[in-house]
Amino acid sequence: MDRAKAAIETLLAEADVRINGDRPWDIRVNNEVAYKMIIRNGSIGFGEAYMAGYWESEKLDELIEHLFRARVVEKARVSFTTLAAYLSTFTRNRGTKQKAFDIGRRHYDLGNDLFERMLDKRMTYTCGYWKDAQTLDAAQEAKLDLVCRKIGLTAGQHVLDIGCGWGSFAKFAAEKYGARVTGLTVSKEQAALGRELCKGLPVEFRLQDYRDLTGMFDHIVSLGMFEHVGYRHYSEFMHIVHDHLNDGGLFLLHTIGGDYSVRSGDAWLDKYIFPNGMVPSIAQIGTSIEQLFSMEDWHNFGTDYDKTLMAWFHNFDQRWTEIADKYGDTFYRMWKFYLLTCAGSFRARGAQLWQIVLSKEDVPRDYRSVR
């Protein structure tokens, strides 16, 4: 145990984090079993020890920000368990059609009561745009409007939303721009509530994998779904979008991105939050669109995800007592760990948020960037 503690203390010191220190981002250890869990199981052990209450931090988001800025997360990846996980990526095919509905069942179907309490009034489960916004509701409205303006949406046009969630974009585009929207989701709960929220509007929800897509569309958007595609399927995804987009249309991809190419996601997030998830790099996206699309615009506002995640946690924390009996204390600590560690990673620029506008290659157009 002493050797495990010493190794962890050394790593944390590089990020100016102390064990049992008195600063908000320091770690307070409640059970020394945490050291062995972290050494043996890396990020999974780190998260599971927190879920068990074996360690605390007054400001979890600040702790993670310190760890990312000092690149402690990268240095800690050199372990047997992490090496084994890396090697498994060569045989594990994330994002297959057979696994497409896993993320729906295990994450988005957790309960609409949870997401209704956490998200904005439109239930938008993607990064807000805080440029001129002061509240979560305003930031999400601004993001949805930004998407519509970036694709030049006009009344009567038919838009496809791949990964439509509960229909926040679909409802906004139909109400504010007079568009017709078809949304794809792999979540039964999202489809059911989305149909209710969009009742009376020209909005269709399909409980469907993107590989089963039919029809042609004036524009296509995908907001926060590409993280579930998997690197082996990026090119397949782009070919499908290309084949179903009218020649004069635009495709807007809104996705979390990473500064380097990976073949898997964080092990704890994969196990507890987003099964089979991973974030793409610029290189991976670039390769996937070759000979298909021209890149018209690439907009990074990743620091806005920090604000969005902190707002989500505030809502979740403030209204937790309303759903605590259903989900339990372990779930609370898991969800808190998820939201605040992600916030810290975006704040430290360990992750990015990109909106990319693409047009079909060899189709002439004069695109002007929108902000």
**From residue 219, how far is each of 147, 244, 287 by CA, in Å?**
11, 9, 22
pTM: 0.94
In this structure, the strands spanning 203-207 and 219-223 are unpaired
Joined together, the tokens standing for residue 79 give 């372990």
In this structure, the strands spanning 180-185 and 158-162 are parallel
Which listed residue (127, 164, 198, 342) is catalytic? 342
- Name 170's Cβ contacts closer than 8 Å, sequence gap at least 6: 159, 161, 164, 181, 183, 194, 198, 201, 203, 205
Q: Does the structure show a pLDDT above 90 at 88?
A: no
Give the SS3 label for residue 341: helix
Do residues 351 and 345 make contact, with C-beta atoms less than 8 angstroms apart?
yes
Kindly list the domain boundaries of the chain, sorted by start residue.
2-88, 97-360
Neighbours of 291 (CB within 10 A): 9
Encode 232-301 in three state secondary structure.
HHHHHHHHHHHHCECCCCEEEEEEEEECCCCCCCCHHHHHHCCCCCCCCEHHHHHHHHCCCEEEEEEEEC
Model pLDDT for residues 114-125, shown as the tens digit of each residue? 999 999 999 999
Model pLDDT for residues 336-363, shown as the tens digit of each residue? 999 999 999 999 999 999 999 999 998 8
Q: Band of the pLDDT at 84, cuts 50, 70, 90?
A: very low
Report the range of poorest mean pLDDT among 17-21, 26-30, 361-365, 367-371.
361-365
Joined together, the tokens standing for residue 271 give 């196990």
Tell me, yes or no, if 342 is annotated catalytic: yes
Report the range of poorest mean pLDDT among 29-38, 71-80, 337-346, 361-370.
71-80
The angle at the Cα of 137, spanning 314 to 198, to the nearest 5 degrees, equals 115
CATH homologous superfamily for the domain 97-360: Vaccinia Virus protein VP39 (3.40.50.150)
Q: Which residues pair with 183 in a beta bridge?
A: 161, 205
- Across residues 186-192, what is the average pLDDT? 98
Token match 């990268």: residue?
Answer: 74
Model pLDDT for residues 235-252, shown as the tens digit of each residue? 999 999 999 999 999 999
Helix/strand/coil percentages in the chain, nearest 5 = 50, 15, 35
